Amino acid sequence: MENDKIKTLLVLFTHEEYNEIMDEFLNLAKKEISDILRPDADSTDSRLNFLCAAIANYRYQQALSACDRSEYTYAGKMINPSSETIVNFAENLVRDYYQLCRDLIRPQNFMFMGIDRELTESE
């Protein structure tokens, strides 16, 4: 992952100038990705830059919305929750980039199944 490219993408996603506060969200996103990256994945793959910026943007937008319990839209702030908020768009962006990087990261959905011993022994 390349810091400069991720910062450029984060500016694009947030529509704000890069600031020191964003560094914390960027570092958190990089940690999240490094935790789920497959051991054999190429960590320089440019798709990871997009995923990292999308995650940082999502976390940043969550924090902004949580500050005053408002929902931020592209038209400004709204007190009344809407399905078309920046947080929702940011979440969809993260999902899209997770899908784009699915061959680079470990699956995030797990299903645990149990088999009843009595059931298998009686058959």
pLDDT of residue 22: 92
The residue to which tokens 């890069």 are assigned: 18
- Give the C-alpha separation, 42 to 49, whole Å: 12
What is the residue type of 114?
G
Q: Which two tokens stand for residue 61?
A: 């937008």
Evaluate if residue 39 carries a pLDDT over 70. yes
pLDDT tens sequence across 66-89: 765 555 555 555 555 555 577 788
Domain ranges for the chain, please list them.
Answer: 3-122
pTM: 0.73
Which strand (E) or helix (H) includes residue 73? strand 71-73
